[in-house]
Chains A and B, each alone.
Chain A
Amino acid sequence: MTAPDVAVRPVYQRSTGTRLTLWLSRLGWRHAVMWVVAAFAVFPVLFVVSAALNPVGTLSSSQLWPTGASLANARELFQNTPFTTWYANSLFFALTNAAVTVLLSALAAYAFSRMRFKGRRVGLIGLLVIQMFPQFLAIVAIYLMFSNIGEVYPVIGFDTRWGLLLVYLGGALSINTWLMKGFFDTVPRELDESAQMDGATHAQVFFRIMLPLVTPVLAIVALLVFINTINEFLMASVFLRDTASQTLGLGLYQLVDSQRNANFGMFAVGALMLSLPTLIVFWFLQRYISEGLTSGAVKG
């Protein structure tokens, strides 16, 4: 938006009726539409909140509007399930994967943006091509691979954190690297050239000059990877079969799978807890989000 809208201001006084008609045709219907849309957007969230507070804790007794405020469901979740372990696992995967992916991706993006070398073109196109083969499509092969790896190295076999993390990191170089490279390209070269003149090494240019300048894109990529990892189900369900090693998402799935009606209150608390980190990150990064999203990374 460049210039503010130039509206013609009336110099004479309109009657109340005319003003109301004008308001309705200009803004009134917009408010009406937005009320409907907002209601559509909010009602499932409202339902899950009221179910979490519902003292009875079953699906059949949960109403759209809270019928009571009790922490019984939360207490039950903490006592009857390994909730803290699940939560810790989820956060471990999401945080570690986000951090390492950002680092690996930024390293590669720096090379692609600032250096000219043999294979650069092939590498960049290759990254695009690989996007057509989402990692989870190869899940059969990954499963077979890790049933062999797990025999030699139990530390990274099934039911371990490190095995699944390694697989997640296989997707570190992805479209996100493109996103980062595009952002790196917008940083003027004069900056790193002048640093080189002053005797900085390539590593110093990267860590001291580039990284601080591209923080927004690092934040966006971290956010996207975090969200994707915490919601990842397919590979986690193949890798983590032992209850104690599972993530919160898998745990919640089983919670409502076996006892759909009775466990719903516990599930609702868990669902809110699983959404909490995402909500927090969204809140803090909101000014970067629409800008980063338009540049091409996808969720939903």
Chain B
Amino acid sequence: MATNRSGTAGAPGKGAPARPALPGGRFSGNGSLTGQLVKIALLGLFTALGVWAVLPLYTAGNWWGIGLAVAVVALVYWVYLSKRTVPAKYLVPGVLFLMAFQIFPVLYTMSTSLTNMSDGHRGSKEQAISSIEAYSVVRGEDSEEYVLTVATTGDPESGELVFLLTDSEGDAYAGTEEGLSELERAEVGPSGKVTDAFGYTLLTPSQVNARSDDLQDFAVPTGDGSGIRSSGLSSAFEGNAQRAYDEACDCVTDSETGKVYTADDERGAFYGEDGERLAQGWQVGVGFDNFARFLLNPTFAASFFSTLVWNIAFAASVTFLVFVLGLAVALTLHVPRMRGKVVYRILVVLPYAMSSLAMYLLWRDMFNADFGLFNRMLGLQVDWLGDAWAARAAVILANVWLGYPYMFLVATGALQAIPRELGQAAQLDGAGPWQAFRHVTLPLLMVAMAPILIATFAFNFNNFNAVWLLTRGGPFGAEGTASGGATDLLITYTYRLAFSEATAQYGYAAALSVMIFLIVSVTSVISLSRTKALQEVDR
């Protein structure tokens, strides 16, 4: 329909617009006064936002960041002030978000997957060395003592820890993981405790207690192999580091035990001769080691492939069951003049209209072995979520309950689009109802339903909520939560590795994500090439 007119509406690059509008439908140039004012106001707002974004970057001396911010603001100005960029005016807002929070993270995931990034391997080598030195500080005879006030920058529960220190002369300092600096504009109480400091949030004793683990690992490096550590909630001492880094041998020597730990730049940590590793390491590229680990390493590979098989089986069986049940219900209701049809429809669609998150949690509690509805009502003793196969069945059942109303809606729509006469004609020709359905209705139905089935499969392949909220991937085998559980999907396994284990393994988790990308894109490319979606591009 549009082919003979393409290039008229909003075609870019046609020069300055004329008024009155030319035949052929070029857009006129300037709109109403209100439109102009709104545009100016929005651009002003955006500029303010840009300035706001640049200020902290300037303070931090991050010139790349400033360059990026300026470039974005300039791009937006160009797009919205030029008369030749009409399509861009409509695309830029969405595309900017897409670039920043979808495309960039995907690329970042890929680059992280090639590193050993994890807890203990987050920063640079210099940071690792200074934290090793500061962490090994012990109290000497002439150690300087400080009165300690624990503070954070930002939120008390998650902000970065800062030691506000008062020495015997009453001078106050702020100590961070980077080092010690003088604290100005601080109020010091009679006990030596800092009572107010600009830019810092002082923690109450209970808040300090809540972060005692962080406190244990926190030390302020003060240069020359010495550092400040806390000795209780309100005092700290400066002492000498037992472990010192020597650039000549690229190693760390422990002065008390005499042990030497040599830097291993391939693995990003200091290793002793007996293979002992210092906890603080740094981030290095490890190539495809992460991938090799779950593809080739026997233990990890077994876990990965069994997870993958279950993941595919889960998505396929949910898609199949949901389709069969939804279609069966749609066929049952596909009859003219049935009493109560509307009521049935509302009741059947009810699960779809409930919050799926809450419903997963509800199903988990219904499956509860001790107090759950199923065991109580049916008089069973099944440990639904503790037994591997029972848990798998439970996850599938809950998903079928949540998913079939959608298929029912879709199948009803598709059935109504098929003329009833086709089925009747087949029956006149002697086909039974089943034959008429199998050879006439079903093929026509599949044309409409195939893309939906593919999409449902892809959705369930990564259905994080379905598994995490019901079983968290469990039950687990003898190796515990570090390996895949019986109901783990790849995405829940990834999530647990990165966010739910004692040591977060970001690099490894990112490699798993990339693996999921690959699997999903291969399936999608195959299925997309079989659908008509791409033809729409040229319309």
Known: A116-B6, A253-B361, A271-B359. Contact between A121 and B537, CB under 8 A? Answer: yes
Is the CB–CB distance between B348 and A201 below 8 Å? no
Which residue from chain A places its CB closest to the CB of B17 in the assembled complex?
A: A201
Task: Confirm or deny: B313 has a beta carbon within 8 angstroms of a beta carbon on chain A.
Answer: no
Interface string of B309-348 (1 = CB under 8 A from A): 0000000000000100000110011011111100010011
Known: A64-B373, A274-B357, A282-B353. Contact between A138 and B106, CB under 8 A? Answer: yes
Closest 8 CB pairs of A and B: A170-B101, A271-B358, A138-B105, A141-B108, A111-B90, A60-B371, A201-B31, A104-B94
Which residue from chain B places its CB closest to the CB of A206 in the assembled complex?
A: B90
Q: Could you say which residues of chain B place their CB within 8 Å of the CB of A4?
A: 336
Is the CB–CB distance between A189 and B5 below 8 Å? yes
Interface string of A109-125 (1 = CB under 8 A from B): 01100111100110111
6 contacts between A and B (CB under 8 A): A59-B371, A140-B112, A144-B112, A185-B539, A237-B499, A300-B356
| Interface size, A (range) | 35 or more
Q: Could you say which residues of chain B place their CB within 8 Å of the CB of A167?
A: 101
Name A's B-contacting residues (CB within 8 A).
Answer: 1-5, 26-27, 30-31, 33-34, 37-38, 40-42, 44-45, 47-48, 58-60, 62, 64, 104-105, 107-108, 110-111, 114-117, 120-121, 123-125, 128-145, 150-154, 157-159, 166-167, 169-173, 177-178, 182, 185, 189, 192-193, 196-206, 227, 230-234, 237-238, 241-242, 249, 252-253, 256, 260-261, 264, 267-268, 270-272, 274-275, 278-279, 282, 289-291, 293-294, 296, 298-300
Q: Could you say which residues of chain B place their CB within 8 Å of the CB of A298?
A: 406, 452, 455-456, 459
Is the CB–CB distance between A40 and B56 below 8 Å? no
B13 to chain A, nearest CB (A): 9
Task: Confirm or deny: B103 has a beta carbon within 8 angstroms of a beta carbon on chain A.
Answer: yes
Is the CB–CB distance between B9 and A134 below 8 Å? no
Is the CB–CB distance between A59 and B93 below 8 Å? no
Q: In the complex, A114→B60 CA distance in Å?
A: 45
Given contacts A143-B498, A173-B95, 14 further A-B contacts (CB under 8 A): A1-B420, A27-B335, A34-B340, A45-B350, A104-B97, A142-B105, A199-B21, A204-B31, A206-B90, A268-B362, A271-B354, A275-B354, A279-B354, A293-B406
Is the CB–CB distance between B524 and A131 below 8 Å? yes
Is the CB–CB distance between B102 and A198 below 8 Å? no
Is the CB–CB distance between B105 and A128 below 8 Å? no
Q: In the complex, A64→B359 CA distance in Å?
A: 15
Known: A31-B340, A189-B5. Contact between A290 and B20, CB under 8 A? Answer: no
A214 to chain B, nearest CB (A): 14
Is the CB–CB distance between A299 and B406 below 8 Å? yes
Is the CB–CB distance between A107 and B363 below 8 Å? no
Task: Confirm or deny: B35 has a beta carbon within 8 angstroms of a beta carbon on chain A.
Answer: yes
Is the CB–CB distance between A233 and B95 below 8 Å? no
Q: In the complex, A138→B10 CA distance in Å?
A: 36
B472 to chain A, nearest CB (A): 10
Q: In the complex, A234→B472 CA distance in Å?
A: 12
B442 to chain A, nearest CB (A): 17
Is the CB–CB distance between A2 and B419 below 8 Å? yes
Known: A110-B90, A300-B403. Contact between A171 and B21, CB under 8 A? Answer: no
Q: In the complex, A166→B93 CA distance in Å?
A: 12
The B481-539 residues at the A interface (CB cut-off 8 A) are 491, 494-495, 498-499, 506, 509-510, 513, 516-517, 520-521, 524-525, 528, 533-534, 536-539
Is the CB–CB distance between A264 and B27 below 8 Å? no
Is the CB–CB distance between B98 and A170 below 8 Å? yes
Interface string of B368-394 (1 = CB under 8 A from A): 101111001100000000000000000
Q: Chain A contact residues: over half helix, strand or loop, or mixed? A: helix
**Interface with A: B129-137, B152-160, B204-212, B216-224, which one?**
B152-160
Is the CB–CB distance between B23 and A41 below 8 Å? no
Is the CB–CB distance between B353 and A279 below 8 Å? yes
Task: Confirm or deny: B295 has a beta carbon within 8 angstroms of a beta carbon on chain A.
Answer: no
Is the CB–CB distance between A166 and B19 below 8 Å? no
**Interface with A: B248-256, B268-276, B409-417, which one?**
B409-417
Task: Confirm or deny: B100 has a beta carbon within 8 angstroms of a beta carbon on chain A.
Answer: yes
Q: In the complex, A114→B9 CA distance in Å?
A: 6
Contact check: which of A48, A199, A294 meets B413 at CB < 8 Å?
A: A294
Q: In the complex, A296→B409 CA distance in Å?
A: 12
Known: A34-B344, A116-B7. Contact between A137 and B516, CB under 8 A? Answer: yes
Known: A153-B56, A294-B413, A300-B406. Contact between A38 and B357, CB under 8 A? Answer: no
Which residue from chain B places its CB closest to the CB of A245 in the assembled complex?
A: B155
Q: In the complex, A2→B422 CA distance in Å?
A: 12
Is the CB–CB distance between B100 and A170 below 8 Å? yes
Q: In the complex, A154→B357 CA distance in Å?
A: 29
Known: A105-B94, A120-B87. Contact between A199 and B108, CB under 8 A? Answer: no
Known: A116-B7, A121-B537, A167-B101. Contact between A256 and B365, CB under 8 A? Answer: yes
Q: Could you say which residues of chain A place their CB within 8 Å of the CB of B183?
A: none
